[in-house]
Amino acid sequence: MTDDIEGVGSTTDDVDGAASTARRAIVAKRVDAGTADLTEISKLAAAAGYEVVGGLSQTRTEDAAFMFGEGKVAELRDLVRRTDADAVIVDNDVGPYQTFNIGGKLPEGVEVIDRFTLILEIFGQRANTRKAQLQVELAELRYELPRAEAKASLAKRDERPGFMGLGEYDESVERDIKRQISEIRDELDSIASKEEARREQRRDSGFDLVALAGYTNAGKSTLMRRLAAEIDVDENADRHPDLDTTAESQDMLFTTLGTTTRRAEMKKRDVLLTDTVGFISDLPHWLVESFESTLDSVYRADLVLLVVDASESVEAMREKLVTSHDTLYERNEAPIVTVFNKVDQLAPGELADKRAALSGVAPDPVAVSAKTGAGVAELRDRVEDELPDWERERLVLPVSDDAMSLVSWIHDHGHVDDEAYANDQVTVDFQAKPSIVARARSKAAALAPAEST
């Protein structure tokens, strides 16, 4: 089957400049059965800055030499010539031998890029922090390692350098890749330790940590902007350093490669909301592992909001929910609240139908429109209901400067239900995390009694 779609996703004027400056690419995909969907790979290509000028797909078993059938590769060559494409982006995991063979059939200078190379290219473009750069480098090395090992095996078996056009084998390359992987892991472990200490510092300051998770383009960043308080977190404050104040909300994949944290606007609880890199389908285990440090913001949160694009089909939503659950439940212990976003795009009655159809994988979801604000108030209430329970406490303190400082501290770290003054005493009824209540009791016990007048 051929899906010859010239002009697929060719409107890229808002991606890395004008379309005229973008590299031109053909997207291609092989599937064992059914019909190949080129939508996501086209969006990924656009996110990387390519202008998608055509597409081709095939339904057949994998060809060991070319991935596609040899006749289909000839069609691909003709399509490249007609569209004057610079690259062919294959939405499959293409082996080094297959990449070499496909490239040999294409016009000279046309690059063959597989799905995971494209994803790494996008990650590399968006890596603006040391942590993100390390994770991209780690993913690239993990991607290259089996290819280096394959070159070693083939070269040793054939006893000729450059076997099958794969390049001369140097056994030191494999050792060097493993050494670099080990060094990067050590540095990422050090960064992770500092981030864990920072999370605990924020919890000690009375904050609950809520993470946004979900697939790319589900609207996580837009929802974060909707939930965020009007006043940005002070990134220079001692109790919550290095917090970003903005989150992008563009119609583009991977606009948030790193994590973005803002203070959320809630009724009682002090919440820090973190947006992370979006999931995408068919990610190999090695790639997920490479970004484990970023995903720690989800795994170690007090609550996870799993955002799903409700405008998609039930089948697509179910597949993404199942994959997300597999990723989250592997290590996550926090409760998960499913959020059906983009309900403003649904026809009357469609939301109820989707709720019923997906009740097995998304029980009691919250329906919102991050774009219009519909349902966001209900989501705020749900967040506070699902966060770990607070303890209630009542302290009777002497009226003194130290006591007033403690009362102010309780306001900052919990929710005061009542504050009353009588007979040189102040009575404070409040709710807070168990750790905050324990610290308040300790501070109260250390107060000197009020001086008699």
Mean pLDDT of the chain: 81
Q: Measuring CA to CA, which residue among 27, 29, 144 is closest to residue 92? A: 29
Backbone angles phi, psi at 224, to 5 degrees: -60, -45
The sign one gets for the Cα dihedral 315, 316, 321, 326 is positive
pLDDT of residue 109: 92
Q: Of the segments 34-43, 122-131, 371-380, 400-409, which one has the largest average pLDDT value? A: 371-380
Pairing assessment for the beta strands 303-309 and 207-214 based on DSSP bridges:
parallel
Residue 450 per-residue DSSP state: P
CA–CA gap between residue 386 and residue 304 (Å, rounded): 10
Mean pLDDT of 178-196: 88
- pLDDT tens digits along 310-327: 999 999 999 989 888 887
Neighbour count for residue 391 (Cβ, 10 Å): 15
Which residues are annotated binding-site positions for Mg(2+)? Answer: 221, 256
pLDDT of residue 163: 44
Mean pLDDT of 146-159: 64
Residue 452 per-residue DSSP state: P
Assess whether pLDDT exceeds 90 at residue 256.
no
Mean pLDDT of 62-79: 95
pLDDT band at 284 (very low <50, low <70, confident <90, very high): low
Return the SS3 of 417.
strand
pLDDT band at 57 (very low <50, low <70, confident <90, very high): very high
pLDDT of residue 238: 33
Which residues are annotated binding-site positions? Answer: 214-221, 256, 275-278, 341-344, 369-371
CA–CA gap between residue 330 and residue 271 (Å, rounded): 25
Mean pLDDT of 183-205: 83
pLDDT of residue 173: 82
Which residues are annotated binding-site positions for GTP? Answer: 214-221, 275-278, 341-344, 369-371
Per the listing, tokens 């056009």 go with: 165
pLDDT of residue 79: 96
pLDDT band at 155 (very low <50, low <70, confident <90, very high): low
Tell whether pTM > 0.75.
Answer: no
CA–CA gap between residue 2 and residue 10 (Å, rounded): 19
pLDDT of residue 149: 72
- pLDDT tens digits along 389-398: 888 899 999 8
pLDDT of residue 330: 67
